[in-house]
Amino acid sequence: MIVTITMNPSIDISYPLETFKLDTVNRVVDVKKTAGGKGLNVTRVLKQLADDVTASGLLGGFLGESIKKDLDEAGISHSFSQIDGETRNCIAILHEGKQTEILESGPVISDKEAEIFLEHFTDLVKKASILSFSGSLPTGLPKDFYAKMIAICNEQHKPVVLDCSGESLKLVLKGDAKPLLIKPNTEELADLLGRDVSDDIAALKAALQDHLFDGVEWIVVSMGAKGAFAKHNDKFYRVKIPKIEVVNPVGSGDSTVAGLTSAINNGDSDEDILKKANVLGMLNAQEAVTGHVNLDHYQDLFDQLDVSLV
């Protein structure tokens, strides 16, 4: 079983408006509300791949119940730890070709809630074959919380695919408990190293050999329309992808994480792991709905990808 972790989920609300008027009433007809958060996008893609997946993390209040209902309706198994606070709303107002976002910071997690979650999580890890953690940590949890969770997984020899950024990722990389895989995009790679990295092979190779990444078996740098560059132990791969019609690339990285987790869980070859990840990222970019992929086009794209050892 694959376990996905979303520590700071949300109800994502989209309000499409012809024009957005300030300081007066805006009426919205076509409101969309979906269970959001990067880990839930990963979960949805894994479900579409027919993988055995359970979503976990923290949920609370009325909106937490609403997310559970959404997952139930999609037939997705879940096992969240309950918190007292209310799960957050994230609002995107789509107007005049622009997107104005209102993002709630979300509930503050108490020490007791963190402790209860870790007990729940430890039980879940026993049943998992692989885990993927996505997104930011909610307020109240220490910045090294992912590092603590990875230590629990490592004790049980369960691999972790980690997709987060900022301080929580830096603390994981500096700590003793390493994830199996990280998937920074080019911006996140630059943030980690404190400098921009050009997309030529020599520069990427040098960047991924930085001591910061010591002990992390797989580093997959996703590069949007340029595909990806990856390091697996001492091997380096360049993934070239064809040009595609893009509808909405939001969530492509989450779809990529779903592909990486699924393929590693299946014991696929390095080449197939990277192909599955990129095909799913591209399929997400071709759809309007985040975390949705049309698998009818899977094989066609798969056959067009080029993964080479560099």
* Catalytic residue IDs: 254
Tokens of 52: 């055995």
For ligand ADP, which is the closer residue by CB, 108 or 225?
Answer: 225
* Smallest gap from residue 299 Cβ to ligand ADP (A): 16
Q: For residues 263 and 285, which CB has a smaller minimum distance to ligand ADP in the complex?
A: 285
Task: Give me the least distance between CB of 85 and ligand ADP, in Å please.
Answer: 27
Task: List the helix and strand counts (H, then E) for the chain.
Answer: 10, 15
Q: Which residue is nearest to ligand ADP (CB)?
A: 253
Is the four-CA dihedral 189, 195, 200, 205 of positive or negative sign?
negative
Rounded to the nearest whole angstrom, what is the least distance from the CB of residue 59 to ligand ADP in the complex? 24
Our CB check for ligand ADP shows the closer of 252 and 265 to be 252
CB of 234 to ligand ADP, least distance (A): 22
Nearer CB in complex with ligand ADP: 113/287: 287
Residue closer to ligand ADP by CB (options 201, 225) is 225
Element of type H or E holding 167: helix 166-174
Q: Output the smallest distance, CB 278 to ligand ADP, in A.
A: 4
Amino acid at 122: T
Q: How many CA atoms lie within 13 A of 29 on its CB side?
A: 2
The 3-class secondary structure across 215-283, one letter per residue, is CCCEEEEECHHHCEEEEECCEEEEEECCCCCCCCCCCHHHHHHHHHHHHHHCCCCHHHHHHHHHHHHHH
Amino acid at 84: D
Closest approach, Cβ 241 to ligand ADP, in A, equals 5
Q: Max Cα separation, the chain? A: 59
Per-residue DSSP letters for 118-132?
Answer: HHHHHHHHHH-SEEE
Residues near ligand ADP (CB under 6 A): 185, 222-225, 227-228, 241, 244, 246, 249, 252-253, 256, 278, 281-282, 285
Pairing of strands 81-83, 181-182: unpaired
55 φ, ψ (degrees, to nearest 5)? -90, 135
Strand partners, 181: 161, 218
Question: Which residue, 84, 89, 37, is CA-closest to 291?
Answer: 37
Closer by beta carbon to ligand ADP, 83 or else 162: 162
